[in-house]
Amino acid sequence: MNEVIELGEVRIQVTRKSVKNVHLSVHPPDGEVTLVAPVNTRLDVARAYAISKLPWIRNQRAKLQQQAREEPRQFVTRETLYLWGKRYLLEVEEKDTPPGVTWDHTRILLTVRPGSSHNKRAEVVHAWHKSLLHKAVPSLIQKWEQRLGVKVNRYYLQKMKTKWGSCNHKAGNIRLNTELVKKPKELLDYIVLHEVAHLLEPTHNERFINILDEHFSGWRTARDQLNELPLETINPA
């Protein structure tokens, strides 16, 4: 059953889990608010907690609104694209050959068939992004598996609107946002650790924070950098 708390302009999605404490989060890029509560928590108690946190919620949302936004990409020549935290000039070449992407230290070359649509170009670039992440992620997972003494069953890559990653600790699976390919690699490393650490501790409690402190002393800076980098404006459906 989906429960929602509405406090003026703030709409909070409530989820119940086997946790000890209430956890409130404001997610980039759009300021979606979620509240995770212990299974037996009364909704009025959760609501009172959310009311007490309204100033914090509004402050977090204001930060997201002030964050730099990228214009939606049209995938045409002389646009710029981000890759691993750097900006590259895009060059589009129309050829009657299989589509693909290559890149060097200054430019990204997108090859597409003549007359290809915006959606097709976006699909080609997204597939390329996933291929780059598939090369980068396994070694990071292996590193954190060994350090934390856990095992990731499977990992998935997908484009997410509100999260950089997620973890199903019961299944041993993690999911990573394909937008991470646009960010510096050290931030990808932090997100992989964050999700792998949830296999030890599924909530963001003190134990989880201690795990991050022990293994990635600069994780707070990495988190803040990740959420301060430009967001790509999402086209309305």
pLDDT digits (tens, 9 = 90+) for 82-132: 999 999 999 999 999 999 999 998 899 999 999 999 999 999 999 999 999
Contact 205, 187 (CB under 8 A): no
Q: Are the C-beta atoms of residues 90 and 80 closer than 8 Å to each other? A: yes
Indicate yes or no: pTM above 0.75. no
CATH code given to domain 70-232: 3.30.2010.10
pLDDT per position as a tens digit, 125-184 = 999 999 999 999 999 999 999 999 999 999 999 988 778 999 998 999 999 999 999 999
Half-sphere exposure of 200 (CA within 13 A, CB side): 19
* Stretch(es) of the chain classified as CATH 3.30.2010.10: 70-232
Q: Compute the Cα dihedral for 158, 179, 131, 144 and give only its sign.
A: negative
